[in-house]
Amino acid sequence: MNKKILIATGGSGGHIMPALVFYNIFNKKFKSFISSDSRGLNYLNTKKYNPKVFKTPQISNSYLLFPFKIIFILYLIIQSIIFLKKNKIDIVFSTGGYAPTPLCVASLILKKKLYIYEPNHVIGKSNKFFLPYCNKIFCHSYKIKLFPKKFKNKIVLIAPIVRDIFKKKRINPIKGLNLMIIGGSQGARIFNKNFHQIIFELSKKLNLKIIHQTDVKNIKFLKSFYNKCNIKNKVFSYDNNFFELIKRCNFCITRGGSSTLAELFVLRIPFLVIPLKNSKDNHQLENAKFYKDKNCCWILDESNLDKKKLYHELSNILLNKKKFTSKKKSLNNLNHNIDWNKQKKLILKELNEN
C-alpha cells in the first residue's frame, strides 16, 4: 500500500506553486493530499486537488488579540490531529509560512515524519522553529542566512523548484526586446507609477514590446499611455496563462520572490531585481544575490531610486550587449547542468529512506 503524504502550504502564490510541483512528484509514489489557508483557493483547482482548508491566523503584535489567536491555534492543532489520523497520513511536507504550523505540530505529536522546504535564502521563522524536529529540509543552497550550523546535515540540496512547463525549451527565438515588468501585485509604487515614462524614453533607442503587470486600477491608464506612444503592449493584473506571457519575454524586471526568480532562471531569461525593501529578514535581497553571484541578473536598491537613476541603470543594462550576452550564457550553462529526472528521484529517495 502506498504511503500517504500531506503537503501543507500557505496561501500565497509563492507557497502554492512549489506545493503543486511537489504534489506532482509525490503523487507518483504516494497518495497525496494538499492543505492551505483560504487564500490558497485562488490558485488551486479545487476539483483536482480537493484541498483541506485550515484558517490559521497570523500572530500579531496586538496584546489584546494574542490570547484569542493562541486559543484558536490550539483548536486548529486538535483539528489537524483528527485530520491526520482520519486520513492515515504518514508524512507531512511543509512548504513554510505560518499556515502549516498546526499541521506540523500535529505531525510531531503523532510522531509522523516531517519534511520542510525553504525556497528563500534566509530561513523563515516557521521553518527555523521546526528545524530541530524535521527529518530533512530541502533547500537551494547550503549558504542560507540565519540557518543554525548544527542542523546543516539536514539540508538536501535541490535545484530551483518550478512547474514542468517552465522546463520546455523555446523553439522560436524572440526578435527585438520583449520586456516584462512583474511587481504590481505587491502594490509597489515604483512598478505602477515610474516605469511607463522610462519605457517611453527607452523605446526611442530600442525596438521593444512591453508586458506590464500592475494593479487593476492602473491597467486602463498604462494601456492608454503605451498605445499613445506606439509601444506594443500587454497590460494585466492577473493572468491564468502567466507562462504564455513570460515565455514571450527576453528580459524581466521583478521583485525578489523565490518562485518568480526560479522561473526566470529556468526559462534562461536575464532579469533585473528590485527587492522589496521591507520583506521579512530582507529575504528578497538574499534571493537576488544568489542569482547575481552566478552572473544571472542585476540588482537595484529601491531606496533613493528616482526616475533619472532608473533610466540610467536600465540603459546601461539593455544597451550593453556584452554584459547582457554574458548573463544569457551563464543561464544556459547552469541550466544545462540540471538533471530534472535525477532531482525527482533524489527527493523521493529522501522521503522513502528517512
Close Cβ partners of 308 (under 8 Å, ≥ 6 residues apart): none
Query: What is the CB neighbour count within 10 angstroms for residue 334?
Result: 18
With CA atoms as reference, report the closest residue to 137 among 180, 94, 98: 94
Query: What is the CB neighbour count within 10 angstroms for residue 207?
Result: 9
Per-residue confidence in pLDDT tens, the chain, 354 aa: 589 999 999 888 888 999 999 999 999 899 999 999 888 888 888 889 999 998 887 765 556 666 777 888 899 999 999 999 999 999 999 998 889 999 999 999 999 999 999 999 999 999 999 999 999 999 999 999 999 999 999 999 999 999 999 987 665 667 789 999 987 444 466 777 778 899 999 999 999 999 998 888 889 999 999 999 999 999 988 776 788 889 889 999 999 999 999 999 999 999 999 998 878 889 999 999 999 999 999 999 988 778 888 899 999 999 888 999 999 999 999 999 999 999 999 999 999 876
Q: Note whether 331 and 8 are within 8 A (CB).
A: no
Query: What is the CB neighbour count within 10 angstroms for residue 271?
Result: 26
Rounded (10°) CA dihedral 213, 215, 216, 218: -90
Q: Note whether 120 and 112 are within 8 A (CB).
A: no
* Helix H or strand E encompassing 269: none
Structural domains of the chain in order of their starting residue, each with its CATH number: 4-159+338-353 (3.40.50.2000), 166-336 (3.40.50.2000)
